[in-house]
Amino acid sequence: MLPDLGEITSDESYADRRNDLGFWEPWVRRGLDSLGFPQPGELRSPGESTNPVFIGDNGLVVKLYGEFWCGPSSLECEAAAYRVLAGHELPVPALLGRGELRPDATGWSWPFLVLSVAEGRPWQRATAEMDRAAELALACRVGELLGRLRRIPLTGSEVLHPAAFADLLRERAAATAADHREWKHLSPGLVDAIDDFLPEAAELLGGSPEFVHGDLHAGNLFVDPERGEVTGLIDFNDVHAGDFRYGLVQLHLSTFRADRELLAAALRGADWPVAPTFPQEMLAFTFLHDFDVFERTPLDLTGVTDLTELAELLWGVDR
């Protein structure tokens, strides 16, 4: 008998089950059968993730979308991203199929995607064994990939719309000071200065909207250290028709762990001109990011008392 999906009725019950391989495996196998895919010998969970994700030993990945934890919007974003990225020869998984675990249900149908597995190893595992020169070279390759992404045409996508990104920035501007008071990464005086520091969204944005991956943490970026190549970029739940600089925030503060040499290498790879105003602009995008991006940053920022000092500490790179 299949496990009862009806017991997932809230954010809390979803959180308890989302990475439970024993609960999901029978459903994943049924979903693969429904689309005619071969069954893997074994399934595994890659670890903690927002969505239930399971990887088969035959190279198939199944990603499920619940009605909680922003599941419906995540599915829309991810499906739109794969449509936009298709045919551009980028190191992203192939979208192989789309189905529903309960297509005839009166409630949530539990949609899912079947994807190809990403090659290589996640950034944090691969770079732990690399020398400095090789790590900097890989950071440059990451920048090259981001440069290619920002040139992808966004025509034909209703989900990736620039108005939605501007709305996100305005929502974050209204909430960010309160959030930082709760997160306590910064001194109270610094948090009090955030509202006056932040520019209007229209003032911060410029140029045409670009494809932006908003969650470039170390588990979403795959590399092959032997070949010195970026081999995979996954998880398109948080993509935007937005500004290139927004995508740098999670990459630098989480994946690069605020290492400004790695950031400089990525900017060179992306051919991004670093203006004198870059640190201030990036601090604004840092405050406007949708996540607690200081959570994984290995810096004690509580003693910083000036926003200009904070901007240079985090985002000051050689020009």
pLDDT in tens, 120-144: 999 999 998 899 999 999 999 999 9
Q: Using alpha carbons only, how large is the chain's radius of gyration in Å?
A: 20
User: What per-residue confidence (pLDDT) applies to 318?
Assistant: 83
CB 293 within 8 A of CB 255: no
pLDDT at 12 over 70: yes
CA distance 263 to 7: 45
CA 204-210-215 angle, to 5 degrees, is 85
User: What per-residue confidence (pLDDT) applies to 172?
Assistant: 97
User: Measured in Å, how far apart are the chain's first and last C-alpha atoms?
Assistant: 62
Q: Phi and psi for 254 in degrees, rounded to 5?
A: -105, -65
Chain mean position to CA 318: 26
pLDDT band, residue 218 (cuts 50/70/90): very high
User: What per-residue confidence (pLDDT) applies to 142?
Assistant: 98
The CATH superfamily of 121-315 is: Aminoglycoside phosphotransferase (APH), C-terminal lobe (3.90.1200.10)
Which residue among the candidates 195, 215, 238, 271 is catalytic per the annotation?
215
Distances (CA, A) of 109 to 31, 43, 173: 12, 22, 35
pLDDT at 203 over 70: yes
pLDDT at 227 over 90: yes
User: What per-residue confidence (pLDDT) applies to 159?
Assistant: 73
Chain position carrying tokens 């959180």? 15
Indicate the burial class of 12 (C-beta count within 10 angstroms; 0-12, 13-18, 19 or more).
exposed
Which CB contacts under 8 angstroms, 24+ apart, belong to 252-255? Answer: 252/314, 252/315, 253/286, 253/293, 253/294, 253/296, 253/297, 253/314, 254/216, 254/217, 254/218, 254/293, 254/295, 254/296, 254/297, 255/123, 255/124, 255/216, 255/217, 255/218, 255/221
Query: Catalytic site residue 215?
Result: yes
User: What per-residue confidence (pLDDT) applies to 206?
Assistant: 76
CA distance 16 to 185: 28
Indicate the burial class of 56 (C-beta count within 10 angstroms; 0-12, 13-18, 19 or more).
buried
The residue ranges of every structural domain in the chain are 5-116, 121-315
Distances (CA, A) of 21 to 26, 50, 55, 64, 112: 9, 14, 10, 12, 15
User: What per-residue confidence (pLDDT) applies to 43?
Assistant: 97
Q: Phi and psi for 75 in degrees, rounded to 5?
A: -65, -45
Tokens of 75: 């599915």
Residue range 5-116 in CATH 3.30.200.20: yes
Indicate the burial class of 197 (C-beta count within 10 angstroms; 0-12, 13-18, 19 or more).
middle
Please give, one letter per residue, the 3-state secondary structure of 184-245. CCCCHHHHHCHHHHCCCHHHHCCCCCEEEECCCCCCCEEEECCCCEEEEECCCCCEEEECHH
**What is the DSSP secondary structure assignment for residue 252, as one 8-state letter?**
I
